[in-house]
Amino acid sequence: MRNLNYDLKKLGDRDRDGSYATRCNRARMLSLMANQLYELGYRKLRVADLKGRHISALLERWRREEIAPGTIKNRMAALRWWADKIGKRGMMAKDNTAYGIPDRRYVSDRSKAKELDQSRLERIKDPYVRMSLELQRAFGLRREEAIKFSPTYADKGDHLRLKSSWTKGGKERLIPIRTESQRAVLNRAHQLAGRGALIPSDRNYIQHVKVYERHCAAVGLSKMHGLRHAYAQERYQELTGLQAPAAGGPSSRSLSPEQKTIDQEARLIISRELGHNREAITSVYLGR
């Protein structure tokens, strides 16, 4: 392993900020950047040597490669984390516009909603994986939330309470239990998990993520984040009486003033239930 890759791995092992998924994504991005810096000629770089010229070199390469603005912003967040951990927080501008990075495009041209294929679900042999997938669709949960889910902790009768250690950003959140089908999913989760989480006692979280990925791949299930899109669009129709724009419904600009008020209120509710707390992000799920 090259020196910089080794240094960054040790830095990540020492400073375990964020959820497991966040740490994995950050480690992957930092490893990629270490490799790219090596290819750019910075072959003796150590973790404490990061300077503005290295950031500029990476940005120039990403622009040449036409990397999407959203991806670049994610990589910049990882670079800021790196700079902060070596005591160089002030080296990087806080605003990405200082680097000429355009705003992320939130509006979706097409629906990314994905329904849970029951025939494929039934072919998954691991009951914990099946249960997590059902929870992802029923409540719009992220994968990590659905895997770490403990029914006895989360089920509060008329709503779910997601523990901060399960969620992206470490923020506890509430999701209403609205339908009989949701209650049926929860009842099955209680029966399977007992007083524990949806991870078998003989596995840890990392091991079970690999089991989840293997079982999904074996039956051809992919891009399961689309289950959150399906949940969001279902909630939008429930709250507004209209299909979401991404699902073929009317665009926001064509709504009446009264409908626009309802649209905004619905988007804020859905944003909170998905764990974003930003109205703008709903355009990814619902269109605009």
Helix ranges, the chain (H):
3-14, 20-39, 52-64, 69-85, 118-123, 127-139, 143-148, 151-154, 180-193, 205-218, 226-240, 257-274, 282-286
Provide the token pair at 42: 């910075």
Give the other-Cβ count within 10 Å of 175's Cβ: 22
pTM across the whole model: 0.72
Domain ranges (residues) in the chain: 3-99, 125-218, 229-286
Q: Helix 3-14 vs helix 20-39: angle between axes, to the nearest 10 degrees?
A: 160
SS3 (DSSP) at 127: helix
Q: List per-residue pLDDT tens for the chain, 288 residues long.
A: 789 999 999 999 998 888 778 888 899 999 999 999 999 999 999 999 999 999 999 999 998 888 888 889 999 999 999 999 999 989 998 888 888 887 665 565 678 899 999 999 999 999 999 999 999 999 999 999 999 999 999 999 999 999 999 998 788 999 999 999 999 999 999 999 999 999 999 999 989 999 999 999 999 998 899 999 999 999 999 999 999 999 999 999 999 999 999 999 999 999 999 999 889 889 999 999
Q: Which amino acid is at 280?
A: A
